[in-house]
Structure 1
Amino acid sequence: MAELRAQWHTTLNQLPEDQWQALLRAGAAEGGEPPPFYSWRWLHHLEASGSIAPREGWQPCHLALWRGEVLVAVAPLYLKGHSYGEFVFDQAFAQLAGQLGLRYYPKLVGMSPVSPVQGYRFLVASDEDTARLTALLLEQIDVFCQRNGILSCNFLYVDPAWQPLAEAAGCERWINQQSQWTNPGHADFEAYLASFNANQRRNIRRERRAVAQAGLTVTPLAGEAIPPPLLGRMHHFYAQHCARWGPWGSKYLSEAFFEAAALELREHLVLFSAHRGDPGDPLAMSLCVRGGDSLWGRYWGSDVDLDNLHFEVCYYAPIEWAIAQGIRRFDPGAGGSHKRRRGFLAEPRVSLHRWSDPGFAAILREWLPGANRQMLAEIEAVNAELPFSATYDPPHVQLQHHDVAPGPG
C-alpha cells in the first residue's frame, strides 16, 4: 500500500469534488445525510463567489492526506485574521494572548464558514482508521502552527461522533449553547401550539393573526420550485437587513453566492415568501436550508416594518412546513433569546481547541472545566423557564455533566 502524503491546499478547486463527497458520505450517520454546509459545492461557491477569501479575512487552508492520486482524508480549514462569522466568541482568548504578549491572529479555524451548523469533522475514507488519521492530521496541524507562529487551532460546531477522537488526540473542549426545535411527533401546527401553556398559545395566535390582518400570506417555495431570480431578491433582503445594523451587520455573502445558489444549490433551499399577491413578488422573505430530516434557518429581510413578521417568516411558517414535510429538527441560527419562547430549546454545542504556546494553553485548560459547568447549568436554567404546558414533556437535552472534568480545587 502506498504511503500517505500530506499536502496543504489554498483552494477547494485543488481537491476533486467526487472524492470529497465520498469522504463526506463515509462519515455520515448510518442512513443519514451530511449537512449541505460541508459539501464540496457549498464550500466551493463560498470561495468562488469571493465571500470567503483572503481579503475578507478567510484564507482557505485545507489539509489533505493523499495515497497516490486518491484523497484519503481531509481537514477543511481556514486561516483567519479575525473572529467574525464564527458565532463562537473567543475574543477573551484574544485579549488573554495580548496580555501575555502573544499574537492571537491569524488563527486556524475548522468550520463551514459563516454557518453555525453542527457537524464539523475531519473527512476520512470508510476503509481507513479514523482515529489514527485524526491523530495524524492533528500532528501535521501542530507542525504547521509551530512553523508559522500560529497560536491556536479551533474546530467549531463539531460532530458529536467525531469529538471523542479529537479529544483523545489532545483537543480541549469548550461548551457553548444554541437553539434547536425538535419535533417530538406533532402531526400539525395545532399540536405544536398545544405544547405551550395557555398564555403563550394566545401570544402565538395573536402574532400570526397580526401578519394575516396586514394582508400578508407566507408561501414556502422549495428546491426546483424556487424561480432562480428569487434568489437575487433574497440577496436584496439579506443585504438590506444586514445594513440596518451598520458596522455590526455581519454581511458575509456576496450576490455571486446567491446567484450560484440559484443554479447549483437550489435542491437544498427553502424560501418563505411573505406577499400580498404573487409569491414571486415578496415584501419579506427568509431563506432556510434543508438536508435529510433537518432544517436550518439562515437569513431574512423585509421591505415593510411590521410587528411579528419576523416571527412568522423565520419561525412559525418554517415550523409548520417542517411538520408537514416530516422534518424532525429545525435549527433557527445563532443568537436570539426570543427563540426560546417559540419552543426552541437551548442545546450544548462543542468546539475543540489546541494551542501552540504552553503557558497560554495551561491558563485556558484550567479555566475551561469551570466555564463548561457554568454553561451546562445555564442551559438547564434556560430550558426550565420555557413556556410549555404542564402536561407537555419536551425532548430531552443531553447535557453530559459527567463529561466535564472537575476544575482545580
Structure 2
Amino acid sequence: MSTPAHPPRSPAPGPPRAGGAPADRPRSGRRLPRTLHPVAWWIWGIGLATAVSRTTNPLLLALVLAVLGWVVTERRTDAPWARGFRYYLGMALVVIALRVVFRCVFATGITPGDHILFHLPHIPTPSWYAGIQLGGPVSLEATLSSAIDGLRLACLLCCIGAANTLANPKRALRVLPGALYELGVAVTVSLSVAPQLVESAQRVNRARRLRADPAKGLRALRSIIIPVLEDALERSLHLAAAMDSRGYGRAGNATRTSRRITGALMLLGMLGLCTGVYGLLGGTAPRALGLPALLAGSLLCCAGLALGGRRVRRTSYRPDPWRAPEWIVAVCGCAAATVLFLTVGYDANDLNPTLYPLHWPSLPLLPAAAVLLAGGAGIAAPPPARTPSAARRPAATGTDTPEAQL
C-alpha cells in the first residue's frame, strides 16, 4: 500500500530585498495602488486653471476639458464623493447657457458686417441706463463670443472640480502649516459640502429605488431636496464636531501680540501676492511691479507662517508620502501654465483669436502639446487604492460616519 504523497509546502516569505521591497511584491512591473498626495492634485488643477485663464481659443479649451475628463476617469477613487465630476460638468453647461442668454438679452449694439440671427423685442431704457439695451438684434459673432467666454469660465470651474474630485480635502488638512489650521478647518468643511451633497443625493436616490417611488422629474424634486439637504447638513455637523473633538483649529498658547504680528504679516503678504499676480497676469499693469511684489508677499507670508506655526504643536499619523509621481503630476500642471503664460515659441494671437472677420480658429501646437503634457498626470499618478466590497457596504447603507473618515 503506497503512502499518499504530501502536498508541497509553500515557501516561507523571504526577507525584504535591497531597498526595502518585500519578497512577495508582484514581479509584473505594475505599480502598487496608493493614494496620491492631495497637494499634488491641487497644484495640477491650479496650473491648468492658470493656463485656461490665458486663452479664449475654443479648441484649447475643449482640449483642456478632454484632458480633465480623461485624468478624472483614470485616477479617481471609488469613494462616493469622487463621482461628482459629472455634476461639475453640468454646472459648466449651465454657466455657458446663462452667459449666452444674458448676452442675447442685454445687447450692446451691432457692428457693421455682423450676421444677424434673430431679433428680440426691444424694451426702452431710461437715460441713466444708457449703454445697455434690453432686446434687439442678436448677431452670430456676439453669441459665439459669449459662448467662448462661458466656456472659459466653465473650464475654470471644471479644473477646480477635478482637483476636488481627485484629492481628498480632509487629507490635505494634515499637511497645512500650523498658522493656517483655523483657516484650513473652515476651507475643509466648505470644500466637503459639494461631495457631501453628491453622496447624500446618491443615498436618497438609492432609497427611492428600493421603495419603488414612481415620482419623476419636478414632482420628485420635493421628495429629494429636503432629505438631501438634511442629510448633508447633519453629516457636516458631525464632521465639525469630530474635528473639534480632535483639537482641529485650537488657538494654542499664543499671546495677543504674537497673534497680531502674525495677522499683520499674513495680511501684508496676501496683499503683496495679489498685487504681484495682478502685475504678472494683467495686460495693462507694468511687469516691473509684478515680480517684486510677488517676492515680497511670499517672504511676508512665509514669515507669518513660521511665526504662527510655533503656537500649534501636532503630530501626524502615517503622513502622505511625496515621491516621484507627486513631482511629475505637479510639474505637468505647472508646465501648462508656464507655456501659456510666457507665450514664447508661438504666436500670442492664437491664444485669443478674434471673431472679426468670422473664421475657424487655429490650434497652436506648443500650447496644445503643453495641455496634452498635463494629461500625462493620468499616467504618472499611481492607480488609486480600491476599497473592497466589504468595506464599501457601510457607505452604501449610510452607516459610515465622518468621524471614521478623519
Q: TM-score, normalised by structure 2?
A: 0.24
Q: Which has the higher contact order (CA 8 A, sep 6+)?
A: 2
Larger Rg: 2
Pick the structure with more helix per residue: 2
Pick the structure with more strand per residue: 1
